[in-house]
Amino acid sequence: MNLRTNDLPLAPPVRGRTPLVATGFTVAAMVMYFASVFGVYLKERALVRAEGLPWIPNKAKIELTQPGMVIWTLIISIVVMQWAVYSIKRDDRQHALLGIGTTVVMGAMVVVQTTWHLSQTNLIADEGPTTAATLIFTIVGSYLVAVVIGMIILTLTGFRTMAGQYGSKQTDGVVAASLYWYSLVFIYFIIWIAVYIAK
Amino acid sequence: MTENQPLTKDNTEDMEIRSLELGGLAGIFGTADHKNLGRLYILFGLTGGFLSLILHFLVRLERINIGGTSILDFGSNNQYFQTWSLSRTSLLFFCVIPLILGLATYLVPLQIGAPSVAFPRAAAAAFWAWLVGILIHVVTVFSDGGLGVPESLTEFAQGMDPEATELSILSIAMVAIAVLLASITLIATIVTQRPQGMTLFELPLFSWSVLVATGVWVLAIPVWLGNLMVSWVDFQGADALRYGNVENIWGQLSWLWSQPMIFAFAIPVLGIAGEIIPVATNRAQKQYVVQQIGIGALGVLSFGAFAQPFFNADVSDQAVFVAMGLLVVLPVLIFLGGLTDTLIKGKPKFSAQLVLALMSMISLLVGTTLSALHVSGPAIGAIQEIDSDWLSGLVNWLKDLQGTVIATAVMEHALLASLIASIAGLYYWSPKIFGKKMNNNLGVLAGLSLLGGLLLSGGSNLINGFLDEGDDVYLSTSNIGVWNKDAVEFLNIVGFIGSILLIGGISLVLLDLSVSIFLGKGSNEDVDNPWNGHTLEWSTQSPPPSGNFAEPPVVTSERPLLEVGGGGE
């Protein structure tokens, strides 16, 4: 049988994955934003170090305990968020809600730990503003804003899940929220390495 | 945010039942209808265009020196710089971007057969955030704020208010976020809301150009936002170290108005001309995919987030920058070649939109050619061993063009091409948008005035660039070392006349809009498809009803109405 593609009937309309596409581009924009700020950070750090000067002010203390806790919190949040996605795909709204809610709480933990950590770094108190302090505050501050936005998105997704908008036939909203959340974990991983570990 | 549901018979009927038309202020402030949002963007964009061209006029007036005395004295370099920088920010963010977003928000769902934009409430939030942000920015600049000062002066205070400056930075950041949000709603609409049978290859050229342009914006504007945020955080310190120093703020942001990035805001010029010219000739556009590739190539070649002289002073000599500057002319040439073929083989009907579309294409071609000229010095120097005096002299002379007002000429051509194309789109789609036609003669007159203004203003900057006038015209030193001071001063008078013509052009458009649309004098005969349009927006009534289409359209070609006899070859 010589059947050309054009002879076949058109496929039935498929629901567009609108939230997923929009989230994909939002994540792309966010990655470009952090790439821009990281670019400035790494360039300036290289310039200061090339002069033989310390990048982090001498009296500043960047402990690794809290960033370590944050990265573990975020890694666990990936599992929890994926649990929510897994549950919604099986119409298990109760566990999906539990997963989303737990992820929001973990987001709050990230905000609290990071804010407290910044207050303990002594980046400005003794030596006044430095380039390192400016850029660390910009990167970490922007990241906290992104986390809070993520928590708002997750909360809205939770309400919609509760209202029955999402289920096994329509998982887009939950999957999109998870995509945003995973991108936050990825970005924090870069912050953890570039800012906290490598200093 | 609520995403759109696909249009089906069931929910179309449902939508008609549920639709609630609100009038008055509630209708304006509470609207999430893409058509209302599109109209609001267009009206504010034209108003912003008028204001930004007034600022352009003031800047050109200041540049006129007669006998060493400036005609207009701003009182200080700071105030002149604030006006100069606001003329650029407002031309881009208060005129060109809202006009593009307005046309796109109104037309993209119609062109792809969708009932609305993908996230209507996000689109509404983007509009209001943009409007509030840009108004705060304008007010703060006039309140001694702005995006910095040109020179390191003795103290920060030097006529500037730190709180107003901070608010200027934050408000323009708000505008950038709003533009990103609006761009993402448009991208999601185009990618996911297309009807059965419409692949990306069947996408109308305007929608395709919006997809490419907003794609580039979504990748580049966050980088600019990063620059803004670093400046703002540094500005918070008692003593800003570097980024927040008032003399450094503009330097970090200026790449958005420079090549190659500036061409990202002119991508829709191709899309608008690509819609108008085939319809005016009543012919299908040949080599449609090549035209799409041309638009895509312009998108790729205009991604300029890497070209930041503040962080990389040698960027203008680097291979990627030079190659992009040279190659950017090619997609415009290819696209224009395709349109010329359509024009020659058809019998074009004379109309304001046709004249304006051709003018915008010519302006963009000149702008991209100037871009190539601007980088030609390093290019020739790189590809050839310079062993003759005259050739190395030529290369050095061409290299010296960088940092001259030719950069301003490139920016003017790109942004004004976009403005003229948007006005062409307004004349073409006014029956669809407002239910009335605009006046053809006034449109042609406005086009001639705008093109004349651009030729005089951009042309004078081009020649002054050859005469070595520095691009930092807000400094009294920009005239030092010019080849012929009298010629530069004369050409600045010519440029000033150009700025008057530009104001005249946009005033005529605003006048026509007021008389034809708001006073109702425009013709409303045959407004559903007056030009025998080829694309889906012309298959529904004008202005379209709630939900746009009675039946979900099925499409098998990029010109569905031409295929069914709405137009004929």
pLDDT tens-digit readout, B452-497? 999 999 999 999 998 888 888 777 777 777 778 888 889 999 999 9
Of B192, B196, B242, the CB nearest to A18: B192
Residue A114 lies in a domain: yes
CA separation for the pair B435, B517 (Å, rounded)? 8
Residue B157, pLDDT above cutoff 60: no
Q: Which residues of A touch B193 (CB under 8 A)?
A: 16, 18
pLDDT at B428: 96
CA separation for the pair B552, B538 (Å, rounded)? 14
Work out the percent of chain A whose per-residue pLDDT is above 70: 90
pLDDT at B181: 97
pLDDT at B559: 78
CA separation for the pair A103, A161 (Å, rounded)? 14
pLDDT tens, A118-153?
888 877 766 677 888 889 999 999 999 999 999 999
Of A21, A131, A134, the CB nearest to B188: A21
SS3 string of B90-112?
HHHHHHHHHHHHHHHHHHHHHHC
Helix/strand/coil for B470: strand
Look up tokens 């990281």; give the residue. A38
Query: Residue A13 and residue B243: Cβ atoms within 8 Å?
Result: no
* Surface-to-core class of residue B88, CB atoms within 10 Å of its CB (0-12 exposed, 13-18 middle, 19+ buried): buried
Give the Cβ contact number of residue B481 at 10 Å.
12
> What residues does A170 pair with on adjacent strands?
A167
Q: Which residues of A touch B551 (CB under 8 A)?
A: none
Taking CA–CA distances from B117, the nearest residue in chain A reads: A18
Per the CB < 8 A criterion, the answer to whether B23 and B112 are in contact is no
Q: Which residues of A touch B220 (CB under 8 A)?
A: 32
Task: Give me the interface pTM, i.e. the ipTM.
Answer: 0.90
User: CA nearest B427: which of B415, B414, B413, B444?
Assistant: B444
Query: Residue B222 and residue A32: Cβ atoms within 8 Å?
Result: yes
CA separation for the pair B464, B443 (Å, rounded)? 31
Confidence class of residue B69 from pLDDT cuts 50, 70 and 90?
confident
Residue A171 lies in a domain: yes
> What residues does B103 pair with on adjacent strands?
none
Residue B22, pLDDT above cutoff 80: no
Q: Which residues of chain A are at the B interface, by a Cβ-Cβ cutoff of 8 Å?
A: 10-11, 13, 15-19, 21-22, 25-26, 28-30, 32-37, 39-40, 43, 124, 128-131, 134-135, 137-138, 141-142, 156, 172-173
Helix/strand/coil for B404: strand
Work out the percent of chain B whose per-residue pLDDT is above 70: 91
| Straight-line distance from the first to the last Cα atom of chain B, in angstroms, rounded to the nearest whole number | 44
Residue B158, pLDDT above cutoff 90: no
CA separation for the pair A34, A196 (Å, rounded)? 16
Task: Respond yes or no on whether the N-terminal peptide bond of residue B260 is cis (omega within 30° of 0).
Answer: yes
CA separation for the pair B536, B390 (Å, rounded)? 58
Q: Which residues of B touch A30 (CB under 8 A)?
A: 222
> What residues does B69 pair with on adjacent strands?
B66
User: Tokens representing A165?
Assistant: 């908008």
Residue A6 lies in a domain: no
Residue B334, pLDDT above cutoff 70: yes
pLDDT at B24: 73
Confidence class of residue A199 from pLDDT cuts 50, 70 and 90?
confident
Q: Which residues of A touch B243 (CB under 8 A)?
A: 40, 134
Q: What is the pTM of this model?
A: 0.92
CA separation for the pair B564, B243 (Å, rounded)? 59
- By mean pLDDT, which of A45-54, A58-67, A186-195, B13-22 is the weakest? B13-22
Of B6, B238, B305, the CB nearest to A129: B238
Residues 6+ apart with CB under 8 A from B272: B103, B206, B209, B357, B360, B421, B422, B424, B425, B428
Residue B449, pLDDT above cutoff 90: yes
Q: Which residues of A touch B3 (CB under 8 A)?
A: 18-19, 22, 172-173
Residue A11 lies in a domain: no
Query: Residue B239 and residue A34: Cβ atoms within 8 Å?
Result: no
> What residues does B65 pair with on adjacent strands?
B70
- By mean pLDDT, which of A10-19, A68-77, B24-33 is the weakest? A10-19
Give the Cβ contact number of residue B76 at 10 Å.
14
> Considering its fold, how many domains does chain A have in total?
1
Confidence class of residue B16 from pLDDT cuts 50, 70 and 90?
very low
pLDDT at B247: 82
CA separation for the pair B525, B531 (Å, rounded)? 12
Residue A153 lies in a domain: yes
Q: What is the mean pLDDT of chain B?
A: 88
In angstroms, the separation between the Cα of residue A9 and the nearest Cα of chain B is 11
pLDDT at B317: 83
Work out the percent of chain B whose per-residue pLDDT is above 90: 60
Q: What is the mean pLDDT of chain A?
A: 89
Q: Which residues of B touch A16 (CB under 8 A)?
A: 4, 6, 191-194
Query: Residue B6 and residue A16: Cβ atoms within 8 Å?
Result: yes
State the average pLDDT over residues B46-74. 87
Q: Which residues of A touch B194 (CB under 8 A)?
A: 16
pLDDT at B415: 97
Residue B9, pLDDT above cutoff 80: no
- By mean pLDDT, which of B161-170, B351-360, B471-480, B485-494 is the weakest? B471-480
Which of A154-163, B56-65, B238-247, B374-383 has the highest mean predicted lDDT (pLDDT)?
A154-163
- State which amino acid sits at residue B495: G
Q: What is the DSSP string of A103-117?
A: HHHHHHHHHHHHHHH
Confidence class of residue B248 from pLDDT cuts 50, 70 and 90?
confident
User: Of residues B556 and B368, which shows the higher confidence score?
Assistant: B368
Helix/strand/coil for B12: helix
CATH number, domain with residue A81 = 1.20.120.80
Q: Which helix (H) or strand (E) is B540 found in, with range?
A: none
pLDDT at B19: 46
Taking CA–CA distances from B6, the nearest residue in chain A reads: A15
Give the Cβ contact number of residue B372 at 10 Å.
18
Query: Residue A37 and residue B230: Cβ atoms within 8 Å?
Result: yes
B interface mutation test: which of A7, A15, A18 has the most B CBs within 10 A?
A18
pLDDT at B385: 61
User: Of residues B9 and B480, which shows the higher confidence score?
Assistant: B480
Q: Which residues of B touch A142 (CB under 8 A)?
A: 229
pLDDT at A17: 86
State the average pLDDT over residues B495-508. 96
pLDDT at B15: 47
CA separation for the pair A108, A179 (Å, rounded)? 18
Cα angle A140-A146-A149, degrees, rounded to a multiple of 5: 145
Of A11, A26, A37, the CB nearest to B226: A37
CA separation for the pair B202, B561 (Å, rounded)? 13
Residue A2 lies in a domain: no
Residue B5, pLDDT above cutoff 60: no
Q: Which residues of A touch B126 (CB under 8 A)?
A: none
Q: Which residues of B touch A15 (CB under 8 A)?
A: 5-6
pLDDT at A16: 57
SS3 string of B39-107?
HHHHHHHHHHHHHHHHHHHHHHHHHCEECCEECCCCCCHHHHHHHHHHHHHHHHHHHHHHHHHHHHHHH
- By mean pLDDT, which of B181-190, B460-469, B501-510 is the weakest? B460-469
Domains of chain B: 31-562 (1.20.210.10)
A interface mutation test: which of B230, B306, B556 has the most A CBs within 10 A?
B230
Count Cβ–Cβ pairs < 8 Å, chain A vs chain B. 116
Taking CA–CA distances from A17, the nearest residue in chain B reads: B192
- By mean pLDDT, which of A54-68, B8-22, B408-422 is the weakest? B8-22
DSSP state of A13: P
Residue A167 main-chain phi, psi, to 5 deg: -165, -170
CA separation for the pair B187, B443 (Å, rounded)? 31
pLDDT tens, B188-212?
999 998 887 888 888 999 999 999 9
Of B193, B244, B311, the CB nearest to A40: B311
User: Tokens representing A13?
Assistant: 């309309």
Residue A3 lies in a domain: no
Query: Residue B305 and residue A128: Cβ atoms within 8 Å?
Result: no
State the average pLDDT over residues B116-127. 94
Of B185, B225, B243, the CB nearest to A33: B225
Residues 6+ apart with CB under 8 A from B25: none
Residue A7 lies in a domain: no
Q: Which helix (H) or strand (E) is B17 found in, with range?
A: helix B9-18
- Structural domain of residue A181, as residue ranges? 18-197
